[in-house]
Structures are given as C-alpha cells and as structure tokens.
Amino acid sequence: MKKKAFTLIELMIVVAIIGILAAIAIPNFVKFQCRSKQSEAKGNMKAIYVGEESYRAENDTYISFPNTSLASQTNAIGFQPKGNKIRYVYKTNAANQTAFGADATVNPTFVGELSNDVWSVSEANNVANSTNGCQ
C-alpha cells in the first residue's frame, strides 16, 4: 500500500513562494493604507475651501482660525472635522479680504501612522501635499 503525501521539498517550495508573495504585498498594502488616511486631509481641505468661499461671499472677507479647537471659528465657515480619529490639525495661516491659506498637519497622536505629512489649500482651490508622509 503506497501512501500519498507531500514531500518536504514540496512543502518548502510552497513556504518560499508564500514568503516571496508576502514580501511584495505587505509594503504595497502599507503604502495604500497610508494613502487612504491622507484622504481625510484632502476632503477636509476641500471643505475648508468651500466654507471660506461661502463665508467670503456673505462677509466680503475670509476668516482666520489658527486652531480647530476654536469651534466657534470653524463653525463660522461650516467646517468641523468628522470622526473620532482626527489624524490632522487644521488651521488657516493667513486670511484677509482677497486671500487665505490653510494647512493640515499630522496630529501628534498619529505620528506613527503618518510622519510629517502636510497638506495645504489656497483661495484658488489648489489642494497640495507639500510634504508627503507616505513613502
């Protein structure tokens, strides 16, 4: 009676193939995970732009909010970050009647997930990733 089974060599080849596939897939997964976290900043920067433009249409000037912890200022443009894991800190760096600029920097709580990631938006609706935290 002959037993049917895998040989040790066949099992070692399968383990090697799985190891090679994992070595290729894991870095790509981490990169895509980081990019998905950046989508929070993109969406919120666009919301800040829309809010600033709406505020300017009504008040003939842009509003400045140096820190999102000042809810009354961000509520003035109808912006409040959503969710219980806010990965970025949003603020305007300057605002007057003709121009504004807003930045999103990584919340210190999430530095391990996104390192040194900076987004910005201007009155021209240019959303840019000035410092990419995803390598």
User: For the chain, what percentages of helix, strand and coil (3-state, to nearest 5) are there?
Assistant: 45, 20, 35
Res 69: pLDDT: 54
Give the CA angle between residues 73, 78, 81 to the nearest 5°: 85
Q: Give the model confidence (pLDDT) of 9-33 as tens digits.
A: 999 999 999 999 999 998 888 888 8
Q: Which residue type is seen at 20?
A: I
Q: Give the model confidence (pLDDT) of 113-131 as tens digits.
A: 677 888 889 888 888 888 8
Radius of gyration of the chain (CA): 23
Q: Give the model confidence (pLDDT) of 57-74 as tens digits.
A: 998 888 887 765 555 567
> What's the CA gap between 120 and 47, in Å, rounded?
12
